[in-house]
Amino acid sequence: MKKINSIVKAKDRVMKTKVTDLLDIQYPIIQGGMAWVAEHHLAAAVSEAGGFGIIGAANAPAQWVREQIRLAKEKTDKPFGVNVMLMSPYADEVAQVIAEEGVKAVTTGAGNPEKYMEMWKKAGIRVIPVVASVALAKRMERCGADAVVAEGCESGGHVGETTTMALVPQVADGVQIPVIAAGGIGDGRGIAAAFMLGAQAVQMGTCFVATTECQVHQNYKDMILKAKDIDTRVTGRTTGHPVRALRNQMTREYLKKEAEGAPFEELEQLTLGGLRRAVTEGDVKNGSVMSGQIAGLIKEEMSCKDLIQKLMKETETLLKGTAVYE
């Protein structure tokens, strides 16, 4: 356990940590790079509100990513980033585009970003891999990562096995670079708890889906707003690709077939294109409505600015006069 030090200094609604300094942002709140969800409207709005917006590249081609970066720059002069899914067939081209266009930071998932590190560093880009274990966090630190996102299994989308409560302090103890907590953080209580666990910032996804600037279909937003605490399910554990989403007809059918031992190919057909259908077409019955376990905390749609101000007010109230681990 590391020495106690005050890392959160709130003055005039500004919260400074090692991560806010690293990314040159006002608040230690990073918007998750959600596939099909995190495009330029959302990323720019989060950055304009003092957080750190991220465009989710997912499986999109490099030209789409280039266009999104340029569109975001038209909407904000504040720092923002791109999330790269390293298993994407376009990962090499996307990595090059990011270096050419210039963003403040890159977050990465589903692979090792080591081969892109030198190129991104030369372009002045901060590299922040998402990790689900201490071993991977240490490896990323050795590779030159500027920080890591320690994401617990309470998050939406692809998940690991360890909870945020257990993962974050172990990662914080295991590396010297700043740690960003993610998974199951839905209000100021979660942010304050993350700081107590050793984090220097938080990454939040589900909360930002239910914002006015988010371009997902209203059916998707409404399903999150109506969700209860027990409404998420994890499919694909037997295939090695577990995904958390709100329960619907698709998850029920998937889990039934999974329990019956259906082959991977049959299960994959159930989810193929499911996230796109939910996000763009509003098919929340047969689509994949990816969401974290904190969906039950989200009760109203609001702007990114109002959401971030609400989160900061709650966090400051809880942390006022306290010391948290550095």
CATH of the domain at 109: 3.20.20.70
pLDDT of residue 319: 87
- Residue 14, pLDDT above cutoff 70: no
In this structure, the answer to whether residues 53 and 167 fall within a common structural domain is yes
In this structure, the answer to whether residues 311 and 268 fall within a common structural domain is no
In this structure, the answer to whether residues 197 and 177 fall within a common structural domain is yes
In this structure, the answer to whether residues 99 and 244 fall within a common structural domain is no
For the chain, the farthest-separated pair of C-alpha atoms sits apart, in whole angstroms, at 57
Task: Flag whether 279 is in a domain.
Answer: yes
**HSE-CB of 127 using CA atoms within 13 angstroms:** 24
pLDDT of residue 46: 98
Domain count, the chain: 2
In this structure, the answer to whether residues 135 and 235 fall within a common structural domain is no
pLDDT of residue 323: 53
Residue 36's pLDDT band, with cuts at 50, 70 and 90, is confident
Supply 159's token pair. Answer: 């998940």
Mean pLDDT of 118-137: 94
C-alpha distances in angstroms, 261 versus 102, 158, 176, 238? 47, 21, 44, 9
**pLDDT mean across residues, the chain:** 91
pLDDT of residue 240: 87
Query: In this structure, what DSSP letter does residue 52 have?
Result: B
In terms of residue numbers, what domain contains 285?
Answer: 228-290
Least confident range of 43-52, 67-76, 224-233, 259-268 = 259-268
Report the interhelical angle of 91-101 vs 62-75 (nearest 10°). 30
- Residue 243, pLDDT above cutoff 80: yes
Q: What DSSP line would sit under 164-231, residue for residue?
A: HHHHHHHHHHH-SS-EEEESS--SHHHHHHHHHTT-SEEEE-HHHHTBTT--S-HHHHHHHHH--TT-
In this structure, the answer to whether residues 182 and 245 fall within a common structural domain is no
- Residue 315, pLDDT above cutoff 80: yes
- Residue 103, pLDDT above cutoff 70: yes
Task: Flag whether 220 is in a domain.
Answer: no
Residue 183's pLDDT band, with cuts at 50, 70 and 90, is very high
Three state DSSP letters for 55-102: EECCCCCHHHHHHHHHHHHHHCCCCEEEEEECCCCCHHHHHHHHHHHC
Contact 305, 313 (CB under 8 A): no
In this structure, the answer to whether residues 41 and 15 fall within a common structural domain is yes
Task: Please give the span between the terminal C-alpha atoms of the chain, in angstroms, as a whole number.
Answer: 10
pLDDT of residue 15: 82
pLDDT of residue 13: 55
Residue 325's pLDDT band, with cuts at 50, 70 and 90, is very low
In this structure, the answer to whether residues 91 and 74 fall within a common structural domain is yes
In this structure, the answer to whether residues 257 and 308 fall within a common structural domain is no
- Residue 289, pLDDT above cutoff 60: yes
In this structure, the answer to whether residues 91 and 170 fall within a common structural domain is yes
Mean pLDDT of 281-292: 94
In this structure, the answer to whether residues 54 and 168 fall within a common structural domain is yes
pLDDT of residue 10: 43
- Give the residues across from 85 on adjacent strands: 109
Residue 11's pLDDT band, with cuts at 50, 70 and 90, is very low
Task: Flag whether 222 is in a domain.
Answer: no
C-alpha distances in angstroms, 1 versus 4, 151, 176, 197, 325? 9, 20, 12, 10, 8
